[in-house]
């Protein structure tokens, strides 16, 4: 699957005439208000990581299971030239980034788009698709849902806290949140950045989107993605779980309005039970073998006996 996905990515991308960089033209990233754009940062970054991951897996396979690797190469007619081309595409992938500001540009030319203050839009204009023409929606820097910020959630540990803060504070005011995909991702990053009240407000937005008809379109159907994202919000947001590194990690926080919360996750054959009550964080292996993980940046071997830690003041909402 990885090989065939890389073949598609290689066939869909093109080389820029002036930049000499590889990228994707006439695409739409996660944000549905910016259509047919060039070099969407999310799209290019994800493609680059897919190339890199595939090449890494193939290298491991050629070393660990050489016979299976040779069979795969033969079956899929995979050549060294093809692998070299993927390596070059990954190396020369265009990632729109402004070194002076530390901002990742959502796509080529995004920073030059006319600005609109989303808070100035009358509530009676929502949902915008029913009241604005498409060209009015798409001709400014307003975004519907997280795009660069979605990238920073999925590849969280590849970005510094400062990078996440700079980009969050730039893109959040430009997001109209007219999508059930939007509030939970913003809440997760807000919790990570210590913006506890903001994180809780976005969580409430996500969980009550249909109950309170926030986007004035519940009559068209329930926002199931927002319901699923509410789980992400608890586990990755307030629970502070990150699973994109070598070790599972937790940086739990607790909203002021809550007395506590808990959840379970499966990890490397173990079921981890985690609870936060007041200023105390408790973790244990409910079933399965001991596992290595990190809590507030400190590594622990977690077993059935469990851990009981005090929550640092900075994580208390």
Beta-ladder partners of 273: 264, 284
Q: What tokens does 55 get? A: 């090449």
Active site residue 220: no
Look-up of token digits 């060209």: 135
Angle at 155 between CA 150 and CA 156, to 5 degrees: 90
- Please write down the HEC assignment for all residues of 25-85: CCECCCCCCCCCECCCHHHHHHHHHHHHHHHHHHHHHHHHCHHHHHHHHHHHCCCHHHHHH
Which residue in 32, 82, 198, 277 is the catalytic one?
A: 32
Q: What tokens does 9 get? A: 């990515």
Q: What tokens does 74 get? A: 């033969």
Helix (H, G, I), strand (E, B) or coil at 298: strand
The 8-class DSSP code of residue 115 comes to: P
The residue length of the chain stands at 317
Q: Residue 284 phi/psi, 5° resolution?
A: -160, 160
CA distance 186 to 202: 7
Any idea which residues carry the catalytic annotation?
32
């Amino acid at each position: 699957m990885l090989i065939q996905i890389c073949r598609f990515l290689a066939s869909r991308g093109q080389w820029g005439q002036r930049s000499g960089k590889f990228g994707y033209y006439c695409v739409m990233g996660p944000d549905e208000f910016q259509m047919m754009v060039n070099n969407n940062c999310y799209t290019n970054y994800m493609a680059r990581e897919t190339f890199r991951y595939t090449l890494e897996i193939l290298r491991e396979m050629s070393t660990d299971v050489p016979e299976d690797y040779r069979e795969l190469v033969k079956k899929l007619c995979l050549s060294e030239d093809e692998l070299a081309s993927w390596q070059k595409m990954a190396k020369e992938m265009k990632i729109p980034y402004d070194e002076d500001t530390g901002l990742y540009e959502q796509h080529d030319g995004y920073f030059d788009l006319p600005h609109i203050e989303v808070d100035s839009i009358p509530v009676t204009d929502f949902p915008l698709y029913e009241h604005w023409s498409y060209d009015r929606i798409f001709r400014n820097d307003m975004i519907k849902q997280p795009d660069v910020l979605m990238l920073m959630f999925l590849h969280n540990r590849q970005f510094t806290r400062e990078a996440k803060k700079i980009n969050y504070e730039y893109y959040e005011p430009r997001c109209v949140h007219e999508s059930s995909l939007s509030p939970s991702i913003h809440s997760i990053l807000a919790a990570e950045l210590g913006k506890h009240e903001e994180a809780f407000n976005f969580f409430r937005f996500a969980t009550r989107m249909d109950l309170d008809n926030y986007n004035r379109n519940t009559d068209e159907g329930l926002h199931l993605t927002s319901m699923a994202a509410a789980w992400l919000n608890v586990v990755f947001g307030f629970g502070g779980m990150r699973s994109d590194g070598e070790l599972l990690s937790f940086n739990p926080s607790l909203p002021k309005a809550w007395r506590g919360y808990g959840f379970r996750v499966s990890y490397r054959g173990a079921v981890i039970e985690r609870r936060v009550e007041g200023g105390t964080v408790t973790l244990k292996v409910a079933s399965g073998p001991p596992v290595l993980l990190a809590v507030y940046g400190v590594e622990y071997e977690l077993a059935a006996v469990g851990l009981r830690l005090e929550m640092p003041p900075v994580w208390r909402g």
